[in-house]
Chain A
Amino acid sequence: MRIGIVCPYSWDVPGGVQFHIRDLAEYFIRLGHEVSVLAPADDDTPLPPYVVSAGRAVPVPYNGSVARLNFGFLSAARVRRWLHDGEFDVIHIHEPTSPSLGLLACWAAQGPIVATFHTSNPRSRAMVAAYAILQAALEKISARIAVSEYARRTLVEHLGGDAVVIPNGVDVDFFAKAEPKAEWQGNTIGFMGRIDEPRKGLPVLMKALPKILAARPETRLLVAGRGDEKEAVETLPSRLRSRVEFLGMISDEDKARFLRSVDLYVAPNTGGESFGIILVEAMSAGAPVLASDLDAFAQVLDRGAAGELFANEDADALADAAVRLLGDPERRAQLRERGSTHVRRFDWSTVGADILSVYETVTDGTAAVAADERTGLRARLGLARD
């Protein structure tokens, strides 16, 4: 099958959607399909052979922050050229509502279009205003995929219609087979994510830490992720600061080893999560998970069966649960075991097969993707004869 995938965010900037697309493309290539990914990228960045650059993304203020987007005449022309050259059986657009490549591709293509909605943003005012324009482009999508039940609900509320839920994929064995690192083992709590992004929840964990250390003084907290380390420990009494170790940004291999080593993985995120891939990765590596009870997290953790949940933003509840888990090796072993059977459904072998089923369902008996030839003025006025 010839598959075209549209990535809305810059290939040179690491991010969840980019990684998802990379893994998906490589999975399909391994199965023998032909895949081409259209993504924004600087012209001088080295790209894998299956990625086609759509030009540099332009930073513009959008939706309260500066987003790097592709739009305008040149980008639209590149999208058309890619569609024309690719002769795809199906195209798969990610984040079609962001005013970037996804929307342009939706606008420019006709034929079987599959779209994945990753985020579950609250409805923005721009989207309300642009609803009519958006609707005309979005109604070309033959199949919609939401990454979680929560993302599907937002999609249904904002845009109407329906979607099938297919979770994000993880290479479970990559994490399950990683080698633990001795220096990260032994009474360790792991945290991963941007330090200076409050939504990732490090401040909640810092608030809970004194109580955890009071009950179990030998505990160490390992923090992986970029950000200002000094600022992060500011709220902590200085004698406790030595119990926190910052690892900075770590590679994919080290991430797997990190998750494989820690005794407890804590995800205190306070909001803005539509899936929670890190929880799946932690479970794949066999780390017992303690997470805030966000909708998306509760779903990934099978309503608390595959990992424990605590009340969001409640540092005391977090501390109590962490102390209890650290002192109960049996319960942790149980969580490890439940987690590693539970994550099988997020493995690429399952997720990829489901996405392929969607492609096959929409391509059954329809023509391939083509550039949407605009009906000329003459045709509209009924003058053209063919």
Chain B
Amino acid sequence: MALLEVEDLEVSLKSGRDLLKVVDGISFTIEQGETLGIVGESGCGKSLTALATMGLLGGTPIRVTGGRILFEGQDLSLLTPNQRRMIMGNQMAMIFQEPMTSLNPVYRVGDQIIEALQQHETLSQKQARDRAIELLALVRIPDPKNRINSFPHQLSGGMRQRVMIAMALACDPKLLIADEPTTALDVTVQSQILDLIVDLQKQTGMAVILISHDLGVIAETCNKVAVMYRGKVIEAADADDLFAHLRHPYTRGLLDSIPVADKEVEHLNAIKGRVPTLEEAIEGCTFNPRCPNVQQKCLSSYPSVAAFERGHEVRCHFPLEGNE
């Protein structure tokens, strides 16, 4: 049994009378100890997939309209709010894009970690405090004994993200969802945070879903990758396999748009055009207005999944030959 199984998940935005599908039937599984990278441009539905998994869509006009999310074989949508709360934080946890706003400004960071701990475990104040200091040390915050008394505004962005990670790890979750955890941080801090997540994963054996728009980040950290475009997974493979044999022109485009550090370039290779808005209906393959290899068939029918060796799947009528 997979740790997390997402089957044909559909997430829709209610806009007036219409339902616009933002996530359109995506499926993936993740096993204990694996790292799944979900990558795609802004608006492709990757964050919403994470929010839907964590059940954080309440109060928004966005709803899960189809499919199932199974955590250890349990359908999350069938749980009562109380049962769900038992899982949240305890079994699955999440860290967010914005370390600046994801901590409560009026509490000391230690108290926030202690609260996360006491939500699921009965600990004395002393035990909880010691554990919080351990957690801060675990996420490599220097001088944790004093830092535990800091308010969020006294910490830098990287430090706050570390505190968020410490909070998420408080109850040893089996699954950690990291929604663009490094987007708001500067580059040097980014790699530190990513290294930290990878190390912690090795130590604890948890599964991680890493959401990013940066293929470079994904390549460094993940062992499975799903590339999303307009609400669908258009290419999924093991990380090594994906980067060795790119099959989808979109993935190719994403990779080409990363500048190479030691080469002089005149201009960056961008994927032409933009992500079509949800209201725009596109006949055939949704990538056809931007695809360099577009052909007649792409304009009329949406490609079904084509499977290659080692579970490499791609949704394209004319997959690339698959070499660098």
Say whether A and B bind each other: no
Q: Which residues of B contact A (CB under 8 A)?
A: none
Q: Which residues of chain A have a CB within 8 Å of any CB of chain B? A: none
